[in-house]
Every structure is written in C-alpha cells, then in structure tokens.
Chain A
Amino acid sequence: MSPEIFFQIIVNGLFTGGIYSLVAVGLTLIYGVMIIVNFAHGEFLMLGIYVAFWAWTLADMDPYIVIPFAFAMIFGLGALVQRGLVQRVLDAHPLNQIILLVGVSILLIGLVQFFFSAEPKAIHVPYETAVISAFGLRFAIARLVAFFASMAISFCLYLFLHYTRTGKAIRAVSQSRDAARLMGINVNFIYYLTFGIGAAITAVAGVLLAPNHRMIPTMGQGYSVIAFVVVVLGTMGNFIGAFLGGLIIGVVEAFAGFYLGGDVKIIASMMIFILILLFRPAGLFGRKRT
C-alpha cells in the first residue's frame, strides 16, 4: 500500500468518524445523565437529514443554513420525548425503558416513511461532488465541512459542559441525581435539556451528512448500532471516550472497507464491539466493573 492510499484511507476514516463522534457524544450524554440507552438515537440523525431535505425541497435552502433550525426543532422534540415519555419510565425495569424507546424509534421511522415515502432521497447542491486536492490527497468538500463542523460542535459542547453553570449542573446530575437535587438543581429540567441537546446534536450530524448522502427512513438504525459500538468502546457516559471512539471506529471501518469491501466493513465494527463487550465491558476509558 502506497503512503498516499494509506493516508487517504485515514482521512476518509476520520471524516466518517467525525460524524460518528457527534452521534456518539449525543448518546453518551443521554446515558451519562439518565442511565438509559437511547434505542431511538439514530432516528434523530435520520430526522435531521430529512429536515434538511424538507427545507431543500420546500425553499431550496442550503443544508448548512438549516443547521440552526434543525437543532431547534429536534431539541424541542427530544425535550418533549423526555418530558412526555422517558421521564415516566426512568425508575422502571430496563426492559420497559428499552421497549418504550424502540417504540419511539419505530414510530419516528413510520412517520417519516408516511410523509416522505420509503424511496431513497437525495439533496443536490452545487458543491455535492466538489473536491480539494492537497498533499497528494483528495478531500470532498462536503465531508471536510462535516468533519470540522462535528469537531467544532463537540468542542463547544465540551466547553458548555465544563464552563457554564448549566453545563456544570448537567455534570452534577450525572454524578449524583440526589446530591444535585439537594444543591437546588432542577433535575427534571436538566433531564429535558440533556435529552434535547443529545437529540439535537445528533440531528445536526444528520444535516451535515445531507449534501452528499442518500437518505432512507431506516438509515438511523445503522447509526444507532454504530453509536452503541462507539459509546461502549469509549466507556458508557464518557464524553472524551465517545469522541475518540467515533474517530477510531471511523478509521477502522475505512481500513476494513478497503480490505474487505464496503458491505463487510460493518462486520469489523461488530467484531470490535463484541470483543469489547466480552473482554473489556467498561470500555477503553473506564475502570473495571465490579
């Protein structure tokens, strides 16, 4: 393998991994605060990409302009799902939580399929296939933008969690719900906020995919599974772990795709997932579970 191909694969892997990171950060945030695995997570990405498609067909809006609207819409939806549904099963048997979220996921897929049909859709923008060449490597513009936007959003979220009062409150709730409540934090509000943010940044990941990615209503399931892999790899609830895990899985998939062919690459992630679950269920950044 020539060095150009080697680095090209790494670049491609990082570009995919950037999106995975963003999706996984959303999932890990929700898990860290509420200790529920959001089985409907990928559907928020799917909603994001369909919001972009909708805006594009309706008003010919560029996907990048849609980002704030998608963020706001899906933030509202996420907060609503938390408030109306998830909140009521927080203390229930995990089976009930999972069934509820699987129900939400199926419902969202069904609704999108109802309004947009199950046919694959795509957005067409002028820069769809534009490419920059540098250092002997090729960078697709849309993917380059998606990568740096993902990095920037993850970084902003990190700053938000560490340097604002609300962000600190979110982290406090994730450390101890009861202690946070005793300190006067409105725990329920933090829950709505967290689910909203987690869903919204995932939707933004979807919008970032929109310029050069076909969409189908069931596409979210694949991303849910990838996000589970990433989050387990990077330790459930660990922000940095999810972020790095996304990049790692992206690169691993790119190499697997190169050697084994496009369809089989998911087997590589699944093998990593299964091996981690079996041998290091606490993930790369976690202490051993007792």
Chain B
Amino acid sequence: MTAENPATTSNNPIRSWLKDIFLDWDRTQMVICFLLVLFLALTPLFISSTYYLGIIILATIYAFIGISWNIVAGFTGQLLIAHIIFLAIGAYTTIVLFNTYSISPWVGILIAGVVSGLCGVVVAFITLRYGLKVDYFALFTIALMVALRTLFLKWDYVGGAVGMWFSLTDPSFDKMIFANKAPYLYIALSLVVIGLLVQYRIYRSKMGKYFLAIREDDDAASALGVNTSRYKMLAVVIGAAMAGIGGGFYMMYVTFIEPPQVFNLGLNIEIVMAGPIIGGLGSLAGPIVGALLNKPFAEIMRGALAEGRSGNSLIVYGSFLILTIMFMPRGVTGVLHTIYRRILNRLNPRNLGDS
C-alpha cells in the first residue's frame, strides 16, 4: 500500500499502474477477489484432508452461484428469492443428458446454462408482462419453487421422488469423474474466475449503470429513457444461465439430486443468498468473500456443536443473516470499503472524490 502514495507524483510506470488499480475501489475489489482465488488454488498444496477440501470446493461453487444471484438481486435489486430454481434446472438438465443420452457433462453443463437461461426468459417475461414488483415478485418465485418441487416429484422422466444420481465409475475426464478432489476445485475456480470477469464487465459497462439505476429507482430510470423491462430481463437471464451452469457442476460434484433437496428454501439460503448478503450484496467482491466466510464457518459450527443434534447450520445461517442486516447492511465488503476510504483519506484527502 505504500507504493501508491499519491503524494509522490512520478512517471514511474509501475507506480502509476498501481495507482490506477488502488485508487479505484472496483479494481481494488477485483484484486481482493483474485487474491482469494489464488489462495484457493493453492489450498490443495497444504490441505490433504478430503473433508476440508470438499468444504472448500463447495464454498467455491457457492461463490459462483452467489455471483449469479448478485447480478440479479444485487445489481438490479429484483427480489428473485428462489434463485435455486435455476440451479436445480441446470443440475437436472446435466444429469438427464448424462444418464439418458450419455452426453458428456462438459457439454451438458453448457446446455444446462442455455436451458436455465431460457427458463429465466420465461420467468422474466411473465413477471414483467404483468408488472410484478418487489414483494409480489419474491412471492411469485417462491410459489414457483413450490410448484416445481411437486412437479418434479411426480415427473418420472427426471426420476420423480427417487431423485437422480450417477455411479462413480472409473475416473474419466470425459465424464468429469476424477480420482481426487483437486480437479473439481480447479474447475470450480475457473467458473469463479469467469463469473468474476463477467460480473466486472457488466458492472463497468453502460448496462451495469442501467442495472444500478433500476435498483435505486425503477420509475426514475424508466422516466430517463432506460428500457427497464429489457434490462431487468437481461439481468434475470444472465443470472439464470450462470446458475444453470453452476447447478450442472454442483450436480457432477454431489452426484445425487432429489426434488425436496434442491427446491428448498433452506438450501437456497445456504447456496444462493448467504454468501452475497454476508459479503455485501451488489458489490463486486461480496459473493466470493461471503461464500468463503459462511460455508467454512457453518461447517466448523456444525462440527463444534454436533453432539448428534441437527439444526446447527440453520442456526448459524439464520444468525448470520440477521446479524448482517442489523449491523452491517452492506456486508463485509461495505466494512472493507470504509476502511479503504480511511486509508486513502490518510494518504491524501484529495483522492476521496470518486471512490
């Protein structure tokens, strides 16, 4: 942090490059994100326990799903509470393609993204066509989730109440089955990197500004000539497609899926909502910071309080959500932002302007 002291203006290219990055909060957040990704990428070197590695892989998947939700709920402020619908659809698409049509998960996951994206189009079209706002939108998505759960329970093509799974045969790259956990981690991390870049591109683009305008004031944005329906739909579709891809990979990692497990508000909170909210909804680093905090912490608590009792992780997630909303509504990233501004301020008060 000392190298970017703006008081010493020089033509040193490295110094000006660092200033470019660290004087901009968005870029600083991206640096934080990539440091976290780097840290995760190195974990297999010093963690050999498959249990802990498993937690890290799940946290990484959660980070990616969290990014997808952050684009919808964080950027455009749409209360797509039951985002897990799209994850479930992606997971089911992948496993049906894999089991029934022997299509490699590598392709299947991409198709899952397309299918989920199309479902996103349908959901967005219905809700926008009838102008459902705020609470009603949230209720609609929950109702949809409950209806889909019952539908999937009765639908034999996707396994009905029995669920779907695949047997872990010999490790095979084509089938995305690996002998140890590290490859799963690297696939998940690649997804997170792509997710972070997509999120950043959107955030910095004109479209991203429209998204934020819609979040702040829907009607005002519309009055200023933003085609709000179009951008709301775009956000839902992007988020849904990413969640579908994430869901496909989640399926390949957990190997088993059944309707009550995925069309479930509890899992929805664990996978989709807790990360971005704790990390800071609407911020760039929020989803990954939050996912890396909440999943491991919930696991530790589960271990610490176990004694054969269940419900610990629910208590942890519930308290996390409540405490975050009560004491740091902008999440961990919000706190980091305050610290960041203080540091900048100490270095040079004039730089406070735009960050």
A residues at B contact (CB < 8 Å):
37, 85, 88-89, 92-96, 98-100, 102-114, 117-118, 217-218, 221-222, 225, 228-229, 232, 263-264, 266-267, 270-271, 273-274, 277-279, 281
Contacts and interface: CB of A to CB of B under 8 A. Distances in A.
Interface string B102-145: 00000000000000000000000010011010111011101110
A117 B308 CA distance: 9
Contacts of B309: 113-114, 117
A277 B147 contact: no
Contacts of B322: 85, 100, 103-104, 107
A111 B313 CA distance: 10
Given A117-B309, A118-B310, A273-B143, 5 more contacts: A98-B79, A102-B273, A103-B325, A107-B322, A110-B315
Interface string B143-158: 1101100110110000
Given A107-B314, A278-B126, A264 B321 contact: no
Nearest to A40: B318
Contacts of A95: 73, 77, 79, 281
A222 B321 CA distance: 21
Main secondary structure of the interface of A (DSSP, over half): helix
Nearest to B321: A103
A232 B265 CA distance: 20
16 contacts: A37-B139, A92-B325, A94-B138, A95-B73, A96-B325, A99-B324, A100-B321, A100-B322, A100-B326, A104-B322, A106-B317, A112-B311, A118-B310, A264-B150, A266-B147, A270-B143
A186 B179 CA distance: 66
A99 B315 contact: no
B320 interface: yes
B77 A93 contact: yes
Interface string B77-98: 1010100000000000000000
Contacts of A113: 309-311, 314
**B129, B134, B277, B322 pick with most chain A CB within 10 angstroms:** B322
A20 B186 CA distance: 49
A139 to B, nearest CB: 29
A39 B12 CA distance: 56
B329 interface: yes
B318 A110 contact: yes
A103 B281 CA distance: 15
A273 B141 CA distance: 11
Contact of A228 (B79, B142, B266, B281): B142
Interface in B64-83: 73, 77, 79, 81
